[in-house]
Amino acid sequence: MNHVFARFTLFPAVVAGALALAGAAWAQEHGAAPHGAAPHGAGGEHAIQPHHGGGEHGGPAAHGPKPINWTDFSNKETPPYLALLINFGVLAFGYYALGKKPIAAALKQRKEDIGKEIEDARRLLEDAQERSKKHTKDLKNVAADVKTAREALIEAGEGERDRLIREAEEKAARVGRDAGFLVEQEAKQLHLDLTREAVDDGVARAEALLRAAVTQADHERLAEEFLAELSSKSVGGAS
């Protein structure tokens, strides 16, 4: 492709070069002779001839351009202009014949490449627009998510607070019940202890009174009665 484009770019240069050469050749062949040049002739005449009849200028005589040679191929001094046109036509035709298909193929390929690039750019643009819409939607959802998260945190905090308060109340109630039970048990134990102490004290006092009131004869009598009772029980059981 680069070779084809190089040839395509070379075409204007070839045309410009051909025109430049044609112009240079025409100027060189048909240009005016230099002023002050001596004409050829015998006897060494002066190079500058004065104007006859009181001419306005006293300088050398001016030479006009030669006529353009259009089709005279026999003129060796001035090439015909038609030859230059033919050369240019041959060059143009050769370039056209040799570069038509490659240039057409290159232009077609370039068109396809441009179309592909346009399609890629369009696809990238659509993708960017879709991502932009998605990001915009995500940004909108972020606000809702933040609000939802804040509400969830507040709700969780309130739930935790209520749980701690409930646990503290339950613990206080349990401690109160335990304390009441302990107080009740302590009261019962104290009552039992006091009752036992009172009974023991009463028994001791009764024993002391009995010891002080009962004589030795009473002891013997009680002993005999006890033995008699035992004997009667033994006899009754044997019979």
Please, where are the H alpha helices in the chain? 2-30, 81-213, 216-238
- Spatial neighbors of 99 by CB under 8 A, at least 6 apart, are 4, 7, 8, 11
What is residue 25's predicted lDDT score, i.e. its pLDDT? Answer: 54
pLDDT of residue 129: 92
- Per-residue model confidence (pLDDT) at position 17: 62
Closest CA to 104 of 232, 1, 235, 29: 1
Residue 150, token pair as written in the block: 């804040």
Average pLDDT, the chain: 74
Mean pLDDT in residue range 98-112: 82
Specify the higher pLDDT residue, 196 or 238: 196
Task: Specify the DSSP class assigned to residue 71.
Answer: S
91 pLDDT higher than 60: yes
At residue 11 the predicted structure's pLDDT band, cuts being 50, 70 and 90, is: low
Q: How far apart are CA 59 and CA 1, in angstroms?
A: 62
Nearest to 26 by CA among 80, 64, 73: 80
HSE, side-chain direction, 13 A CA sphere, residue 142: 6
Residue 29: the pLDDT is 52
Structure confidence at residue 54 (pLDDT):
40
* Predicted pLDDT at 96: 75
pLDDT at 113 over 90: yes
